[in-house]
Amino acid sequence: MIIKLKAMLVKELKQMLRDPKMRMIVFVFPLLQLMVFSFALTMDVKNIDIAVVDYDRSAHSRELTDSFEASGYFVVQHRPESTEDVKKLLDEGDVRGAVVFPKGFEKGILSGRGASVQVIADGTMSNDAGIIMNYANGVVNTYAAGKSVKVTEAVTFQQRNLFNPNLLSRFYYVPGLITLMMMVTGMVLTSIAIVREKEIGTIEQVMVTPISRTEFIIGKTVPFMLTGLITTTLMFILAYFIFGIAVKGNIFLLFAVVVMSIITYLGLALLVSASARTQQQALLTSFFLMMPSALLSGYIFPVSNMPEPVQYFTCLVPMRWSLEGIIGVVIKGATAAELSKQLIWLTIHAVFFMVFASMKFKKTLE
């Protein structure tokens, strides 16, 4: 058993790591992607280009416009004559929002009756639009407080952000990206592991040897497990040094989550590989599996916002549990007891996919 396993492991590792291109794909690509995505993909909205339509042309309207600019969130790019032009600017994507001062704005403030200002946001990116409205609200409220005047429809709101007080999105996105990269590299590489041998024909020779199904599957899993662990560790180190994201919770707990997640992805990928006839089929299948996984995991759209039946369905999405587990340990410093639900679900996934994959792998041709 040990001899056979060792032979499998040595062979798999040599095949995987001999080719410099493969080494790049296994170790360097995930790190590069983590860097690029972390810098590029941010939900912090800054320097929003806006247009200002000032029908009032008063000192107060200019003052509030300055406040918008001074906030750092907005840049006034255009000052069109009428709201008609705003629509055009929005359509062409020149601005993402607009502020409209109606006639009588200053009068309203001075008379103490209150004044209103219209904020328009490009609703095509609903997330951004929400953020823009929030920022605008903030700016207007601050201004209004300073003038001790009521600004119509300016809702006062107060928000306290737990765990990420500065609302810096990378504290959430970077660990999430690591989870995503873990899934992508694990699944893509592993999904061709068995089917590649089928396609080249090497599997026939292995099938006539006394190696057992379990030995074969373990032999295919462990090397990817090892490289997956190494890459994930490197990604966390990178996250610490570049983004200052330290692991708040227990490092062993983190690795427990990581190991269970990787086993799950590898099991799923091996299942795909054992069922597919060609590498192309296997790769496409794993892409089609990864897409919904990422979308339903709660990484981009919170699970709690989904319709209830879909929320139940997400229990079957392994990435949901890896994500919650990793965010839990890294950002919240959660304990094993607090993450018991996530750990149990991950274990169920891991065992199910591994067993299913080794059952699906047959030592006969057909």
Partner 1 sequence: MNGGAFAVSADGIIKRYGGTCAVDGVSLNVRRGGIYGLIGPDGAGKTTMLRVIAGILKPDGGEAFVCGHSCEREQIAVKNSIAYMSQKFGLYPDLTVLENIKLYADLYGVEKHGMRERIDELLDFSYMKPFRHRHAGKLSGGMKQKLQLICALVHKPEVLLLDEPTNGVDPVSRRDFWRILYGLVAEGMTILMSTAYLDEAERCNVIGLMHKGKIIAEGTPEEVVEKSGIKVLSVKDGGDRSLVKKLKNLLGSDRVHAYGDRLRVLTSDIEGDTEKLLGFVPEAVVEPDRPMLEDIFMSIGGNADADENILSLIAGGTGGKTGTALDVRGLTKRFGDFTAVNNISLTVPYGEIFGFLGPNGAGKSTTIKMLCGLLPATSGEGMVGGVDIVRSPETIKSKIGYMSQKFSLYEDLKVYENIDFYGGIYGLAGAELAKRRDWSLKLAGLEDRKNLMTSELVGGWRQRLALACAILHKPSIVFLDEPTSGADPASRRLFWAIINELAGSGVTVFVSTHYMEEAEYCDRLALIFRGDMIAMGRPSELKTSQMQDKIIEVLTADPFSHMEPLSKLDGVLDVSLFGAGLHVRTVGAQEINIKKYFTDKNIDAQVQRIEATMEDVFVSMIERADGGGK
- CA 183, CA 12: separation in Å to the nearest integer? 20
Are 260 and 345 a contacting pair, CB within 8 Å?
no
Q: How far is the CB of 6 from partner 1 (least distance, A)?
A: 6
Q: Does 11 bind partner 1 (CB under 8 A)?
A: yes
Query: Is 6 a binder of partner 1 (CB under 8 A)?
Result: yes
Residue closer to partner 1 by CB (options 5, 229) is 5
* C-beta of 10 vs 251, nearer to partner 1: 10
Token representation of residue 185: 């590299």
Which has the closest alpha carbon to 256: 195, 188, 183, 344? 344
Q: Which of 7, 229, 259, 306 binds partner 1 (CB under 8 A)?
A: 7
Q: Using alpha carbons, list the distances in angstroms from residue 56 to 61, 81, 145, 153, 323.
A: 7, 11, 21, 19, 51
Among 18, 92, 157, 309, binds partner 1 (CB under 8 A): 18
209 lies in the site for partner 1, by CB under 8 A: yes
Among 113, 204, 310, 316, binds partner 1 (CB under 8 A): 204
Residue 206 makes contact with partner 1 by CB under 8 A: yes
Q: Exposed, middle or buried by CB within 10 Å (0-12, 13-18, 19+), for 227?
A: buried
What is the DSSP secondary-structure string of 145-167? Answer: HHHT--BTT--------SS-TT-
Cβ distance to partner 1 smaller for residue 6 or 79: 6
Residue placing its CB nearer to partner 1 in the complex, 207 or 229: 207
Give the nearer residue to partner 1 in terms of CB position, either 190 or 293: 190
> Under a CB-based contact definition with an 8 Å cutoff, are residues 101 and 64 in contact?
yes
CA distance 13 to 234: 19
Binding map of partner 1 across residues 127-166, x = CB under 8 A, - = no contact: ----------------------------------------
Given the rule CB under 8 A, which residues bind partner 1?
3-4, 6-8, 10-11, 14-15, 18-19, 200-212, 215, 363-366
